[in-house]
Amino acid sequence: MMQSKVTAYDSTLRDGAQAQGVSFTVEDKLKIVQQLDALGIGYIEAGNPGSNPKDLEFFKRVAELKLQHAKIIAFGSTRRIGIKAADDNNLRSLLSANTQSVAIFGKSWDYQVTDILRTTLDENLRMIADTIAYLKQQGKEVVFDAEHFYDGYKANAPYALATLKAAADAGADVLCLCDTNGGTFSDEIFAVTQTVVKAFNLQVGIHCHNDCDMAVANSVAAVQAGASQVQGTINGIGERCGNANLVSIIPNLQLKLGLNCIPAENITALTHVARFVSEVANMPFNDKAPYVGNDAFSHKGGMHIDAVNKNPISYEHINPEQVGNIRHILVSEVAGRGALLSKLREIDATLDKDSTDTQRILARIKALEHDGYQFESAEASVQLLVLRELGKLRPSFEFKEYQVNIHEPALNGVNSFAHIKLVVNGQEETTTAEGDGPVNALDKAMRRALERFYPAIKTVRLTDYKVRVLNSDQATAAKVRVLIESADQNESWTTTGVSTDVVDASWRALIDAIEYKLMRDLV
């Protein structure tokens, strides 16, 4: 029988930090802690202060934060072979974190004990018991992570259960079952977890890795079997294929199974937290991520869009606003008039699908997509296009001309110079700038020309730049499509440009990026 409450236990700062390419600074960790606490996460696992100076500083500074929901938990292993727990330097280091709660991992697979630790099965049981008893004597709440539990259970069930009994008898508060290799299927997870829940009168947790792409499903199966603590990371980041993704698990448990996982009013922050952690970790955000991805509630096909406009449940399993996401009706050559109409009505509520304006704009979009444009990924360019076609866009500036010179070898580290001419409020502005490449030089020159008139441009930064060759059979004469993502302190937006010249395609996308910012600010 499932619990009515399931505790969310986040390991982004420990397990997630083991992902390739991820390295959190102390400031990064503190910012993530505050976001996770605001979301309502119950435990935030944050490493061992003895493992490196960065973690030592983190534990000192995180103690100064006034957290509303989360407990910070330090992480370490059982005592070393053949010594007393009180004499183990790693455990002393763990205690120096001064956290109310600690997590201890120990071996529950006999093979790991005999062939990896190279000790006896009895000594491993003593290591578990001694460590937990010692930490309980220090007044700590203890989570026992039974490493490799499911593999251990399949290999030697009595011994795997004996490791849990050693932890429970020593006073462990939570027995967390780990699918460390990520190779167990959901039916096995359910059956084994249910056995443990029935055998021990303790809180049982689940910790899954994603090596078979089943970590979320396995975590949910464990909860359905009675586990009441679920461990994972934001966006599923972690070593190898990653960890169980709390961003999917939390809404699955809360919105689908009706369990109390985080405060109900906080779940709308889920999308923000997922994107925030992705940004801090310097990892590309997964647009296809369930619940929180940019594409999670995006509709492109004409029949799908028509159905969603009539009733969103036709192609959406929840309301995107429940998790802080939004619905995207993508404008494209296959979208039809229904998709375009929803965009047009954002600008002019009186337009209908049979109007001349609607038909003209749809034809224009289809012609541009035939030429290589892709508007479903560039909604800012779509909005500008529609406004121009309806005669409702008052241009913030008029582009006249640009010229780019590239020098190889570079002169003093700079290889590109851009010269542009713009007209703002009837005043001609000519500017030159140098940059690391022609696009960078153009961007700097345009900003220099416009910032005097529109200081808000200083807040805009380019966050992503993509180039796609459209007809590679044309070799160097091929068309290219450029997508530029820009952001200010409030939002991000994407614009696009197409040309046989990558600089010209980039320039078109840059113009739209700045025009969109100014149009939005001046509305």
pLDDT tens track for 169-217 = 999 999 999 999 999 999 999 999 999 999 999 999 999 999 999 999 9
Q: Do residues 53 and 34 touch, judged by C-beta distance below 8 A?
A: no
| Residue 302: predicted pLDDT | 61
Peptide bond into 290 cis (omega under 30): no
**Range of weakest confidence among 173-187, 224-238, 397-411:** 397-411
Any bridge partners for residue 498, and if so which? 481
Q: What is the pLDDT of residues 283-311, one digit of tens each?
A: 878 889 999 987 888 776 666 666 766 77
Measured between alpha carbons, how far is 129 from 164 in angstroms, rounded to an integer?
10
Question: CB within 8 A of 122, min separation 6: which ones?
Answer: none
| Position 387 in a domain | no
| Position 351 in a domain | yes
State the amino acid at position 173 in one-letter form: D
SS3 for 45?
Answer: strand
Q: Does the model's pTM come out above 0.75?
A: no
- Give CA separation, 311 vs 294, 332, 341, in Å: 20, 21, 16
Based on the domain organization, do 239 and 349 belong to the same domain? no
Measured between alpha carbons, how far is 325 from 316 in angstroms, rounded to an integer?
12
pLDDT at 334 over 60: no
Measured between alpha carbons, how far is 424 from 419 in angstroms, rounded to an integer?
16
Domain that holds residue 476: 398-522
CB atoms within 10 A of CB 279: 13
Domain tally, the chain: 3
Mean pLDDT taken over the chain? 88
Q: Which residue has the higher pLDDT, 306 or 371?
A: 371
Residue 159 half-sphere exposure, CB side, CA atoms within 13 Å? 22
Q: What are phi and psi of 321, to 5 degrees?
A: -65, -20
Based on the domain organization, do 307 and 349 belong to the same domain? yes
| Position 382 in a domain | no
| Residue 358: predicted pLDDT | 78
Based on the domain organization, do 324 and 405 belong to the same domain? no
Q: Do residues 305 and 336 touch, judged by C-beta distance below 8 A?
A: yes
| Position 292 in a domain | no
Based on the domain organization, do 51 and 165 belong to the same domain? yes
Based on the domain organization, do 239 and 319 belong to the same domain? no
Based on the domain organization, do 315 and 356 belong to the same domain? yes
Measured between alpha carbons, how far is 334 from 350 in angstroms, rounded to an integer?
24
| Residue 218: predicted pLDDT | 98
User: Which percentage of the chain shows pLDDT scores above 70?
Assistant: 91
Measured between alpha carbons, how far is 495 from 506 in angstroms, rounded to an integer?
10
Measured between alpha carbons, how far is 24 from 450 in angstroms, rounded to an integer?
36
Longest dimension (CA), the chain: 87
Confidence of residue 473 (pLDDT cuts 50, 70, 90): low
Measured between alpha carbons, how far is 135 from 99 in angstroms, rounded to an integer?
12
| Residue 77: predicted pLDDT | 96
| Residue 170: predicted pLDDT | 98
Q: Which of 210, 251, 208 is nearest to 231 (CA)?
A: 208
pLDDT at 120 over 70: yes
| Position 511 in a domain | yes
Q: Which residue has the higher pLDDT, 344 or 237?
A: 237
| Position 356 in a domain | yes
C-alpha torsion sign, points 276, 281, 284, 285: negative
Q: What is the CA angle 75-78-84, rounded to 5?
A: 130
Q: Where are the beta strands (DSSP E) in 300-458?
A: 328-329, 398-411, 414-424, 427-435
pLDDT at 60 over 80: yes
CA 308 to chain centroid: 26
- Quick one: tokens of 202? 């303790």
Based on the domain organization, do 118 and 219 belong to the same domain? yes
Which residue has tokens 């909604």? 379
Based on the domain organization, do 320 and 449 belong to the same domain? no
Any bridge partners for residue 145, and if so which? 105, 176
Based on the domain organization, do 84 and 168 belong to the same domain? yes
Measured between alpha carbons, how far is 88 from 78 in angstroms, rounded to an integer?
9
| Position 68 in a domain | yes
Based on the domain organization, do 481 and 412 belong to the same domain? yes
Among the candidates 252, 280, 308, a domain finishes at: 280
**Range of weakest confidence among 4-8, 191-195, 235-239, 493-497:** 493-497
Q: What is the pLDDT of residues 494-506, one digit of tens each?
A: 898 888 888 899 9
Q: What is the pLDDT of residues 426-436, one digit of tens each?
A: 899 899 998 88
Question: CB within 8 A of 410, min separation 6: which ones?
Answer: none
Based on the domain organization, do 253 and 307 belong to the same domain? no
pLDDT at 65 over 70: yes
Question: CB within 8 A of 347, min separation 6: which ones?
Answer: 383, 386, 387, 390, 392
Q: What is the pLDDT of residues 438-469, one digit of tens each?
A: 888 899 999 999 998 999 888 888 888 888 78
| Residue 312: predicted pLDDT | 74
| Residue 84: predicted pLDDT | 95
How far is the first Cα of the chain from the last one, in angstroms, to the nearest whole number?
55
| Residue 305: predicted pLDDT | 61
| Residue 53: predicted pLDDT | 80
Specify the DSSP class assigned to residue 190. H
